[in-house]
Structure 1
């Protein structure tokens, strides 16, 4: 786009022209000769003034496209990048994940000032520095710590790994990502073994070739410690129970929901992280469904009912096949029905309102 065209667009105040102006400036800067010229103080001051002036009144879709365009740009004004990183999460996500202009102090500020979803994206950022890791561990927010545990490129030292494994005793969602983490040591694996379920135990035993005698000794020691710590007359439970995990997940979902941060996209991310029970809690919360109804439907041979529930909370028809596949992968092939069941499930996304789909789900779930 020529400079003359940009000047003409600058005279317009229509949203379409403002978007074209913003993106035109981005393209002009991308085509600039030499990075050093673009980051000179004079050019940066000019760009900062132009961008912030335009973004202040820009519509959501324009800000979203701008964030995507600038997510890897090295010439963008840092002040603008920080503004976009604090925008709503769908706009901020690519900037938080990829902008080279967000430094450790900027990321720590996001951990302090931004929403839980922003904090989770910070914890997922590739090659996360040790000072940001320390800030995450100090805050000890379960969802953010879980995202950090799944970030294998983060600068996690031995003490950081030890702190995460210690926290896994109370935070069930930490166990799966930690069991697969490349920095997990033999000693920490043995400690983690005590708190995980049977499937993860087998995985840990295979990966680290844990000595059965050491395992028995660790289990015995843990039981003894738990009984010593338990109040008189009360039993001690060493292994995390399903109810404890569900309680922690319910608290997380309720916190997100109360803050207006629980959206359909969160359910997809829960499944991508292998957290089926978190998906169940989130689906029940968003749809105002009975938790037991959602569980029974997922364990049934009627995937069309799961389709109704997903349609009721605004999940798109095009996304559902991936959701169904991930759930089946995590739930021993259920909900069943095979390819025919999947076709029936897609039919649940018919030309009906979300309210009708929710009502249909509640009625049908009673018979499962």
Structure 2
């Protein structure tokens, strides 16, 4: 009887009063000890309220039912098909909804609904995978910031592939604890590509020069990244990513050696030659022209690069014997590249001009890095 009077009343009641009454009825349905017939009547009334022409009434219904596992399923399914303001609170919270229903919503609905899915208290790996595949960048960013999202590594990788150039997504990915190193390297490349497309850069730097700067910057960042990873599985993962993406070049290897990162060289040559790590490290410890040339040939590296690699390994062993690990990285790298360049005094520039140019660029970059480090140290001393 009470529900019948309610249905009669809402036909003429003001919108604001209808919204208040709708919320009260929904709470009564969920939390009051109603008789079975009263419960059924209340459910019927809630279903009828789905047709109320005022969105504020339907919003009140959505907010009242959104968090309850006991909300009528047919009402919930109708609410999520309503306008975004009505659907969003239900999509964001309702435990009644199945993953399959949420996946369909991610694929078919606008960004605001995708963001509602991404903000749910708990998101399964399967739903995260669907989000990573089809959701917009804003929704993926919300999901990355959600501690209840169970995002698998392959989903993180897919997000990086799709939106690594978007600053907000890139920052959210980098904030993920334990982000795999191959994804971090992918983000470095995408950041460089995004910087190349800036109108200011294109206005003042030629296309060829942009490409050269981009490659140098990415190679340098990759070598720096390799210094920060562990020398086990993480280094192997980085090398395999570089190999599969076509980035494991002679430039990277020579740059890594110039910086003193022999572990990167060992992991790379182990991957490229299928020789054991023990054999590669033996070559590093006691390099010779014949062995290094054969190693480069087996790895598919131009034999023209072999002298630079040989010189790098010899310089590394000399410096390691003399200084160990006492020198700062930039100073060690400066001494390395100076010794390597000194070994080419007897080689005509027209024979290895591109390699000499590469080494000279390294020398310039390393000298600037060393100067910056010294400047920072002087500032600290002065401040103290």
Q: Tell me the TM-score normalised to structure 1 length.
A: 0.47
Larger radius of gyration: 2
Name which structure has the greater RCO, CA cutoff 8 Å, separation 6+: 1
Whichever structure has more helix as a proportion of its residues is 2
